[in-house]
Structure 1
Amino acid sequence: MKWILYNSLEECTIPHLYEILKLREEVFIIEQDCIYDDIDGIDYVSSHLLMLDDAILAGYLRMVPAGEKFNEISLGRIVIRKKYRGKRLGKELIQKGLEESAKKGSEMIRIEAQAHLEDYYSEFGFKTDSEIYDVDGIPHLQMLVNYKEIQD
């Protein structure tokens, strides 16, 4: 797999932006049957991490700067293309997202996770930091990790 990190939306190529938005639509809107405003304005201030298999976008996440959505930097829109699931690529994507977030000087990293993935994210050291709440009809919760602590 090849990694590409765009530190701003302006850096992102048009073909990559198209593939990002298409993948997010396929998974979060169509597959999960959830009509919501995916293009929420936060993409402009976020960094975008792409996992490519040759020219195919296999996975993606965005890193939202501290102060934009939460007090801490946060990982969001974490997605693996359906045909790449079950190959531990999600773990690679999250680990790379944590590493890149730490390089930006952030020790504390937050996610807003779908509640059924709580155990999955705890494998990376994330600890639940909220009660379950609704986001567009899907139960979510916030989780937080101190990246420095999980590296020691």
Structure 2
Amino acid sequence: MIQIEVKTFEELTKKELYEVLRLRSEVFVVEQDCVYEDIDGKDQKALHVVGKKDGEIVAYTRIFKSGDYTDEASIGRVVVKRNQRKYGYGKDIMKDAIHAVHDYFEANVIHVSAQMYLERFYHELGFKQVGDGYLEDGIPHIGMVRKS
């Protein structure tokens, strides 16, 4: 089990922020061999959904209200530490992120920019593809929306 918390940027401790940035870098930059600007100036607007196991951040995502990133409320930077993926923490963090979008932003529509190979993962969480596929930082993506 992981313990999941939702925090503003200001509520993140220095240690948590370091762990989040490290985890995002480990997966999105190193593991996926993708050079991109992860520190994009949007973390300050986001709410951060942090999943910890034994005090260490092993799962993470950030959420935005409508208009702060996309027209709809959105979830992004969904990541699980490589050695923790077999436990279903990706679904755990996403379910809590979906609830947080509803609770904090009262939004009924949620957008994700999903890596194409994860379409089924998001579909199982109620997301449907919208539009055509596209490249984002050289990686195939699709837009997906969940309505509730």
Q: Structure 2: how far apart are the matches of 1:110 and 1:24? A: 20
Higher strand share: 2
What amino acid does structure 2 have at the position aligned with 1:73? A
Number of the residue aligned with 2:135: 134
Give the ranges of 4+ consecutive aligned residues of structure 1 lying more than 2 Å apart after TM superposition.
Answer: none
CA contact (8 A) 1:66 1:72 kept: yes
CA contact (8 A) 2:72 2:109 kept: yes
Number of the residue aligned with 1:108: 109
Deviations along 1:8-64, one digit per CA (max 9) or x if unpaired, are: 211211000000000000000000000000000111100001000021111000002
- For the aligned residue pairs, the C-alpha RMSD in angstroms reads 0.8
| Identity value in percent | 36
How is 1:6-85 mapped onto 2 (pairs within 5 angstroms)?
6=7, 8-85=8-85
CA contact (8 A) 1:42 1:64 kept: no
SS at match of 1:132: strand
Using structure 1 for the length normalisation, give the TM-score. 0.93
Corresponding residue pairs, total: 146
Q: Structure 2: how far apart are the matches of 1:100 and 1:88? A: 19
Q: Structure 2: how far apart are the matches of 1:128 and 1:56? A: 33
Q: Post-superposition shift, 1:120?
A: 1.4
Q: Post-superposition shift, 1:80?
A: 0.4
Deviations along 1:68-122, one digit per CA (max 9) or x if unpaired, are: 2211110000000011111111111111110111102011111000011111110
CA contact (8 A) 2:4 2:93 kept: no
Q: Structure 2: how far apart are the matches of 1:44 and 1:114? A: 24
Which consecutive unaligned segments of at least 5 residues does structure 1 have? none
CA contact (8 A) 1:46 1:62 kept: yes
Number of the residue aligned with 2:144: 143
Q: Structure 1: how far apart are the matches of 2:124 and 2:44? A: 30
CA contact (8 A) 1:60 1:79 kept: yes
